[in-house]
């Protein structure tokens, strides 16, 4: 899978109604996406499969659907207010803003060539570098030579310049305010009163943050915290015995500095997380159990399971709350990258919330007659990132010979039948002789059974098959002259293109059986 194929997938997503750029007619909003008629079906199918496996097929996991906006103290206690930040830097030459920890690495003293978008910008940058930083550089077209890397260990990812601002920590949480009190009013009053007059930039920033903080609330950056905060309510109301889990799916928001690779990293995305509470001392066993379970789940719906791998975090990579962590990674067109993290969060979160809320958060094990704070194993997956993975996994191009004997490219989205947005298409061979009526009757039988079926009569039958191959419909049923005579219908398999006849009266049960894989 190359970058070129990635572009083909992005374009297929728009053309066929999977994913659109948000606010497209206004030029789009950076890193925000809308899931169209087929995208929403695919997303719901992935979410449904996760819920089925994680909640409905088990007795030890229950669900939760919590608010996106929670009490601000939650984020104080969890450490997100002080620690959930990226190191942000501005390039003083090309003015781009980037994450220091994602910038290209260089060694101090390395020669670097700075490249600007055009000759005019390169000329202006040459004067700026000489005057502002006192460094002699020479220019060849749009490239400047003569600068060397400093002790930061990285350069600007856009132009390669080593001339940058200081790093500042940028909190990834979106802040808004709750209630009728407008923080701007408080800031205006402070300015009017002269309270801010003599403050330097740093003090002014702190003061303004404090003024805004009084009514500040945050859009959740992960779904996980609600499961910790509601631990007692859920455990007591459902009389749950440890080990047990709480699962949740929903929107999370992060003001990501670098948004990249289509829907891979965006500011608004969906997560599927589960907090599994266990007795301390049994946590290593459960960690192994959940990593195996989650890996098996992702591979189950894939055509290329070898593109998934498990990567343990090195000690210096571990989040402050985690005792151990594995990433389930996928081989994206740009290399291996994270899809899901499985972390041993110990008793960190329950402990922090107990302390901050002054609530005793403990579990009493009646059989063992002992009290303890459970440890937590957390499989945390990205739903929208998973959708990208299954789009990449499904995309196939193959050369086939058409009905006129010519070779052509067939694009097939080989979605697992349980994930496919449309399960079955019903196609009248021609638009006459009672075939459309019969086809509609069959579609209605599917819809009545909750199976997403589509009626399609536009264009020649070959083109219709191709259209459904491209959106990943696993089965096409074609109504022809024989259907009206003998009550049989052709069923075509998307992947093998093989066709066979089945009885119309068996169509729903046959497809249901094929979907139950």
Residue of minimal Cβ distance to ligand GAP: 382
Shortest reach from residue 88's CB to ligand GAP, in Å = 16
CA distance 417 to 515: 6
Shortest reach from residue 253's CB to ligand GAP, in Å = 9
The site map against ligand GAP for 104-123 (x = CB under 6 A) is --------------------
Per rule CB under 6 A, count of chain residues that contact ligand GAP: 18
State which of positions 374-413 bind ligand GAP (CB under 6 A). Answer: 380-382, 384-385
Shortest reach from residue 342's CB to ligand GAP, in Å = 9
Structure tokens at 423: 């399960």
Cβ atoms of 377 and 436 within 8 Å: the answer is no
The site map against ligand GAP for 268-307 (x = CB under 6 A) is -x-x-x----------------------------------
How far CA 146 is from CA of 135, 162, 343, in Å, comes to 8, 11, 46
State which of positions 472-491 bind ligand GAP (CB under 6 A). Answer: none
Cβ atoms of 87 and 167 within 8 Å: the answer is yes
At 428, which helix (H) or strand (E)?
strand 424-428
Shortest reach from residue 404's CB to ligand GAP, in Å = 45
> CB within 8 A of 403, min separation 6: which ones?
462
Nearer to ligand GAP, 113 or 338 (CB): 338
- The total of other beta-carbon atoms located within 10 Å of residue 481's CB is 12
At 381, which helix (H) or strand (E)?
strand 375-382
Q: Tell me, rounded to whole angstroms, the distance of Cα 16 from its chain centroid.
A: 20
State which of positions 332-351 bind ligand GAP (CB under 6 A). Answer: 338-341
Nearer to ligand GAP, 243 or 382 (CB): 382
What distance, in Å, lies between the first and last C-alpha atoms of the chain? Answer: 27
The site map against ligand GAP for 222-261 (x = CB under 6 A) is x-x-----------------------------x-x-----
- Residues found in the chain: 517
Which region, left, alpha or beta, applies to residue 239 given φ > 0 means left and ψ of -120 to 50 means alpha? left
State which of positions 199-228 bind ligand GAP (CB under 6 A). Answer: 222, 224
Shortest reach from residue 268's CB to ligand GAP, in Å = 8
Nearer to ligand GAP, 48 or 215 (CB): 48
At 236, which helix (H) or strand (E)?
helix 231-237
Residues that bind ligand GAP (CB under 6 A): 222, 224, 254, 256, 265-266, 269, 271, 273, 338-341, 380-382, 384-385
């Amino acid at each position: 899978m190359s970058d070129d194929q990635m572009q083909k997938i992005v374009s297929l997503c728009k053309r066929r109604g999977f994913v659109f750029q948000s606010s497209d007619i206004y030029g789009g909003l950076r890193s925000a996406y809308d899931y169209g008629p087929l995208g929403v079906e695919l997303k719901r199918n992935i979410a449904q499969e996760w819920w089925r496996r994680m909640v409905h097929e088990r007795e030890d996991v229950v669900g939760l659907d919590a608010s996106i906006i929670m009490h601000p103290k939650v984020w104080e206690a969890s450490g997100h207010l002080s620690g959930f930040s990226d190191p942000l830097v501005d390039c003083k030459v090309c003015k781009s803003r980037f994450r220091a920890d994602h910038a290209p690495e260089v060694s101090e003293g390395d020669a670097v060539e700075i490249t600007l978008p055009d000759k005019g910008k390169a000329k202006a940058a040459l004067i700026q570098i000489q005057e502002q930083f006192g460094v002699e550089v020479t220019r060849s077209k749009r490239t400047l030579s003569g600068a060397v890397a400093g002790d930061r260990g990285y350069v600007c990812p856009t132009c390669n310049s080593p001339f940058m601002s200081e790093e500042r920590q940028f909190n990834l949480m979106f802040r808004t305010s709750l209630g009728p009190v407008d923080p701007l009013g408080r800031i205006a009053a402070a300015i009017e009163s002269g309270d801010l007059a003599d403050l330097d930039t740093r003090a002014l920033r702190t003061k303004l943050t404090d003024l805004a903080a009084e009514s500040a609330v945050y859009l959740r950056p992960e779904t996980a915290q609600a499961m910790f905060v509601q631990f007692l309510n859920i455990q007591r109301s459902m009389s749950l015995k440890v080990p047990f889990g709480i699962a949740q799916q929903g929107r999370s928001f992060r003001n990501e500095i670098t948004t990249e690779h289509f829907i891979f990293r965006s500011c608004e995305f969906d997560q599927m997380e589960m907090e599994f509470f266990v007795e301390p001392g049994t946590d290593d066993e459960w960690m192994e159990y959940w990593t195996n379970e989650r890996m098996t789940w992702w591979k189950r719906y894939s055509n290329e399971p070898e593109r998934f791998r498990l990567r343990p975090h090195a000690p210096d990579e571990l989040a402050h709350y985690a005792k151990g962590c594995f990433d389930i990674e996928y081989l994206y067109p740009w290399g291996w990258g994270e899809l899901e993290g499985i972390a041993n969060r110990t008793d960190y979160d329950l402990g922090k919330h107990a302390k901050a809320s002054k609530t005793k958060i403990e579990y009493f094990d009646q059989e063992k007659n002992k009290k303890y704070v459970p440890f937590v194993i957390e499989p945390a997956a990205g739903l929208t990132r998973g959708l990208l993975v299954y789009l990449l996994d499904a995309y196939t191009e193959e050369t086939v010979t058409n009905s006129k004997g010519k070779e052509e490219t067939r694009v097939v989205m080989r979605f697992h039948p349980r994930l496919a947005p449309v399960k079955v298409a019903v196609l009248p061979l021609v638009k006459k002789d009672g075939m459309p009526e019969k086809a509609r009757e069959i579609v209605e039988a599917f819809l009545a059974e909750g199976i997403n079926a589509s009626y399609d009569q536009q264009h020649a039958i070959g083109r219709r098959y191709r259209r459904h191959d491209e959106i990943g419909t696993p089965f096409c049923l074609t109504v022809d002259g024989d259907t009206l005579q003998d009550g049989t219908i052709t069923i075509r398999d998307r992947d093998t293109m093989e066709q066979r006849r089945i009885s119309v009266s068996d169509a729903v049960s046959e497809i249901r059986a094929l979907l139950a894989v």
